[in-house]
Amino acid sequence: MELTLVRHGQSTANRDGILQGQYDAPLSDLGRRQANQVGAWFARLGLAWDAVYCSPLSRARDTALIISERLGRAAPLENADLAEIHAGSMQGKTGAVLRAEHPSFYERGIDGLGDYAEFGGESYEQVQARVQRLLAHLFERHRAAGDRVLLVSHGGLMFQLAKMLICQPVPRVLMIRFSNCSVTRLSLRERRGTFIGEIEWHAPLELIGGEPSGGAAALLY
Protein backbone atom coordinates (compact mmCIF):
# COMPACT_ATOMS: atom_id res chain seq x y z
CA MET A 1 0.00 0.00 0.00
CA GLU A 2 1.10 3.53 -0.77
CA LEU A 3 -0.06 6.32 1.57
CA THR A 4 0.07 10.05 0.86
CA LEU A 5 -0.47 12.33 3.86
CA VAL A 6 -1.54 15.97 3.44
CA ARG A 7 -1.98 18.34 6.33
CA HIS A 8 -4.83 20.83 5.94
CA GLY A 9 -4.24 24.36 4.66
CA GLN A 10 -3.84 27.30 7.02
CA SER A 11 -6.89 27.79 9.24
CA THR A 12 -8.02 31.03 10.82
CA ALA A 13 -6.78 29.64 14.16
CA ASN A 14 -3.34 28.83 12.66
CA ARG A 15 -3.23 32.41 11.39
CA ASP A 16 -4.20 33.85 14.77
CA GLY A 17 -1.93 31.66 16.94
CA ILE A 18 -4.76 29.66 18.53
CA LEU A 19 -4.39 26.05 19.64
CA GLN A 20 -7.05 24.04 17.82
CA GLY A 21 -7.17 20.38 18.72
CA GLN A 22 -10.77 19.58 17.76
CA TYR A 23 -11.81 23.24 17.90
CA ASP A 24 -13.31 23.58 14.40
CA ALA A 25 -11.70 26.63 12.84
CA PRO A 26 -12.29 27.07 9.07
CA LEU A 27 -9.66 27.54 6.40
CA SER A 28 -8.35 31.07 5.98
CA ASP A 29 -8.19 32.66 2.53
CA LEU A 30 -4.53 31.62 2.38
CA GLY A 31 -5.49 28.11 3.44
CA ARG A 32 -7.92 27.79 0.55
CA ARG A 33 -5.23 28.98 -1.87
CA GLN A 34 -2.80 26.45 -0.39
CA ALA A 35 -5.27 23.61 -0.91
CA ASN A 36 -5.74 24.70 -4.53
CA GLN A 37 -1.97 24.89 -4.99
CA VAL A 38 -1.32 21.36 -3.75
CA GLY A 39 -4.28 20.07 -5.77
CA ALA A 40 -2.91 21.72 -8.92
CA TRP A 41 0.50 20.16 -8.22
CA PHE A 42 -1.05 16.71 -7.92
CA ALA A 43 -2.90 17.30 -11.21
CA ARG A 44 0.29 18.37 -13.03
CA LEU A 45 2.05 15.22 -11.86
CA GLY A 46 -0.89 13.04 -12.82
CA LEU A 47 -1.19 11.63 -9.30
CA ALA A 48 -4.30 9.63 -8.46
CA TRP A 49 -5.57 7.49 -5.57
CA ASP A 50 -7.84 4.52 -5.14
CA ALA A 51 -9.38 6.17 -2.08
CA VAL A 52 -9.32 9.56 -0.35
CA TYR A 53 -10.12 9.91 3.37
CA CYS A 54 -10.25 13.06 5.47
CA SER A 55 -10.86 14.30 8.99
CA PRO A 56 -14.42 15.55 9.62
CA LEU A 57 -13.06 18.87 10.95
CA SER A 58 -13.78 21.58 8.39
CA ARG A 59 -10.19 22.74 7.82
CA ALA A 60 -9.17 19.22 6.72
CA ARG A 61 -12.47 18.31 5.06
CA ASP A 62 -12.46 21.47 2.92
CA THR A 63 -8.80 20.97 2.01
CA ALA A 64 -9.65 17.46 0.82
CA LEU A 65 -12.69 18.69 -1.10
CA ILE A 66 -10.65 21.33 -2.91
CA ILE A 67 -7.97 18.78 -3.82
CA SER A 68 -10.61 16.32 -5.04
CA GLU A 69 -12.27 18.99 -7.17
CA ARG A 70 -8.94 19.91 -8.76
CA LEU A 71 -8.41 16.25 -9.62
CA GLY A 72 -11.98 15.76 -10.88
CA ARG A 73 -12.78 12.96 -8.47
CA ALA A 74 -15.60 12.20 -6.04
CA ALA A 75 -15.77 13.82 -2.62
CA PRO A 76 -13.49 12.26 0.02
CA LEU A 77 -14.75 9.89 2.70
CA GLU A 78 -14.76 11.30 6.23
CA ASN A 79 -13.20 9.19 8.97
CA ALA A 80 -13.53 10.35 12.59
CA ASP A 81 -10.23 8.70 13.52
CA LEU A 82 -8.41 11.24 11.30
CA ALA A 83 -9.56 14.13 13.51
CA GLU A 84 -6.93 16.09 15.40
CA ILE A 85 -6.02 15.16 18.98
CA HIS A 86 -8.60 16.52 21.45
CA ALA A 87 -6.84 19.01 23.71
CA GLY A 88 -9.66 19.50 26.23
CA SER A 89 -9.82 22.88 27.95
CA MET A 90 -6.72 24.04 26.05
CA GLN A 91 -8.58 24.22 22.75
CA GLY A 92 -9.49 27.55 21.20
CA LYS A 93 -6.96 29.61 23.19
CA THR A 94 -3.84 31.57 22.28
CA GLY A 95 -0.37 30.67 23.52
CA ALA A 96 -0.33 33.61 25.96
CA VAL A 97 -3.60 32.48 27.56
CA LEU A 98 -2.47 28.87 27.70
CA ARG A 99 0.78 29.74 29.45
CA ALA A 100 -1.18 31.65 32.08
CA GLU A 101 -3.94 29.06 32.55
CA HIS A 102 -2.01 25.81 32.03
CA PRO A 103 1.63 26.38 33.05
CA SER A 104 2.06 22.68 33.88
CA PHE A 105 1.81 21.81 30.17
CA TYR A 106 4.88 23.92 29.41
CA GLU A 107 6.81 22.47 32.34
CA ARG A 108 6.66 18.93 30.93
CA GLY A 109 9.62 17.17 29.42
CA ILE A 110 9.50 16.31 25.74
CA ASP A 111 8.20 12.80 26.49
CA GLY A 112 5.11 14.35 28.08
CA LEU A 113 3.93 16.06 24.90
CA GLY A 114 0.84 14.80 23.09
CA ASP A 115 -1.11 13.86 26.23
CA TYR A 116 -4.06 16.10 27.14
CA ALA A 117 -5.84 13.93 29.72
CA GLU A 118 -4.90 16.40 32.49
CA PHE A 119 -6.95 19.05 30.68
CA GLY A 120 -9.96 16.90 29.83
CA GLY A 121 -8.67 15.88 26.40
CA GLU A 122 -7.28 12.66 24.95
CA SER A 123 -4.53 10.75 26.67
CA TYR A 124 -1.50 9.51 24.76
CA GLU A 125 -2.81 5.96 25.09
CA GLN A 126 -6.22 6.93 23.70
CA VAL A 127 -4.58 8.55 20.67
CA GLN A 128 -2.44 5.46 20.06
CA ALA A 129 -5.56 3.27 20.17
CA ARG A 130 -7.30 5.58 17.70
CA VAL A 131 -4.37 5.46 15.28
CA GLN A 132 -4.27 1.66 15.52
CA ARG A 133 -8.00 1.55 14.72
CA LEU A 134 -7.45 3.80 11.70
CA LEU A 135 -4.63 1.61 10.42
CA ALA A 136 -6.70 -1.55 10.90
CA HIS A 137 -9.42 0.05 8.75
CA LEU A 138 -6.91 0.95 6.02
CA PHE A 139 -5.15 -2.43 6.08
CA GLU A 140 -8.47 -4.26 5.80
CA ARG A 141 -9.45 -2.34 2.66
CA HIS A 142 -6.20 -1.32 0.99
CA ARG A 143 -3.44 -3.74 1.99
CA ALA A 144 -2.60 -4.74 -1.61
CA ALA A 145 0.80 -3.53 -2.82
CA GLY A 146 -0.70 -1.48 -5.63
CA ASP A 147 -3.36 0.32 -3.58
CA ARG A 148 -2.87 4.09 -3.27
CA VAL A 149 -4.59 6.08 -0.53
CA LEU A 150 -4.64 9.81 0.25
CA LEU A 151 -5.26 10.97 3.84
CA VAL A 152 -5.97 14.64 4.64
CA SER A 153 -5.62 15.30 8.34
CA HIS A 154 -3.81 17.30 11.04
CA GLY A 155 -0.25 17.76 12.25
CA GLY A 156 -0.62 16.10 15.65
CA LEU A 157 -2.55 13.09 14.38
CA MET A 158 -0.25 12.59 11.36
CA PHE A 159 2.80 12.73 13.63
CA GLN A 160 1.39 9.84 15.68
CA LEU A 161 0.37 7.96 12.54
CA ALA A 162 3.74 8.35 10.81
CA LYS A 163 5.82 7.20 13.76
CA MET A 164 3.57 4.17 14.27
CA LEU A 165 4.04 3.25 10.60
CA ILE A 166 7.82 3.64 10.36
CA CYS A 167 9.15 2.61 13.79
CA GLN A 168 9.25 -0.75 15.59
CA PRO A 169 8.96 -0.43 18.54
CA VAL A 170 6.98 2.83 18.35
CA PRO A 171 8.87 5.60 20.19
CA ARG A 172 7.20 8.15 22.43
CA VAL A 173 8.90 10.98 20.53
CA LEU A 174 9.98 11.26 16.89
CA MET A 175 9.97 14.77 15.46
CA ILE A 176 8.54 15.29 11.97
CA ARG A 177 7.25 18.74 11.04
CA PHE A 178 3.95 18.76 9.15
CA SER A 179 3.44 22.31 7.92
CA ASN A 180 0.22 23.48 6.28
CA CYS A 181 -0.41 21.47 3.08
CA SER A 182 2.86 19.56 3.39
CA VAL A 183 2.83 16.29 1.42
CA THR A 184 4.34 13.03 2.72
CA ARG A 185 4.60 9.81 0.73
CA LEU A 186 4.98 6.47 2.54
CA SER A 187 5.19 2.98 1.14
CA LEU A 188 4.05 0.07 3.30
CA ARG A 189 5.13 -3.51 2.82
CA GLU A 190 5.72 -6.68 4.78
CA ARG A 191 9.32 -7.17 5.87
CA ARG A 192 10.38 -10.24 7.85
CA GLY A 193 6.84 -10.82 9.05
CA THR A 194 6.15 -7.18 9.99
CA PHE A 195 4.02 -4.79 7.93
CA ILE A 196 5.98 -1.53 8.16
CA GLY A 197 6.36 1.69 6.23
CA GLU A 198 9.12 3.93 4.99
CA ILE A 199 8.97 7.62 4.15
CA GLU A 200 9.80 8.00 0.46
CA TRP A 201 9.65 11.80 0.56
CA HIS A 202 8.34 14.66 2.68
CA ALA A 203 7.75 18.01 0.96
CA PRO A 204 6.64 21.34 2.48
CA LEU A 205 4.29 23.42 0.35
CA GLU A 206 6.93 26.00 -0.57
CA LEU A 207 9.06 23.26 -2.15
CA ILE A 208 6.27 22.48 -4.61
CA GLY A 209 5.66 26.14 -5.48
CA GLY A 210 2.92 27.08 -2.99
CA GLU A 211 2.58 29.85 -0.41
CA PRO A 212 3.90 28.89 3.05
CA SER A 213 1.95 30.00 6.11
CA GLY A 214 4.74 31.54 8.18
CA GLY A 215 3.50 33.36 11.26
CA ALA A 216 2.85 31.69 14.60
CA ALA A 217 4.36 28.28 15.25
CA ALA A 218 2.11 25.30 15.88
CA LEU A 219 0.94 25.17 19.50
CA LEU A 220 -0.32 21.58 19.77
CA TYR A 221 3.14 20.27 20.57
Q: Which residues are identified as catalytic?
A: 8, 84
DSSP, collapsed to helix, strand or coil, labels residue 4 as strand
Q: Mark out the alpha helices in 150-209 (DSSP H runs).
A: 155-166
DSSP, collapsed to helix, strand or coil, labels residue 40 as helix
| Alpha-carbon 109 to chain mean position | 23
Query: Which residue type, as a one-letter code, is found at position 61?
Result: R
103 vs 221: CA distance, rounded Å: 14
| Alpha-carbon 177 to chain mean position | 10
Instruction: Find the helix or strand (DSSP H, E) in which 14 lies.
Output: helix 12-16
Question: Under a CB-based contact definition with an 8 Å cutoff, are residues 106 and 112 in contact?
Answer: no
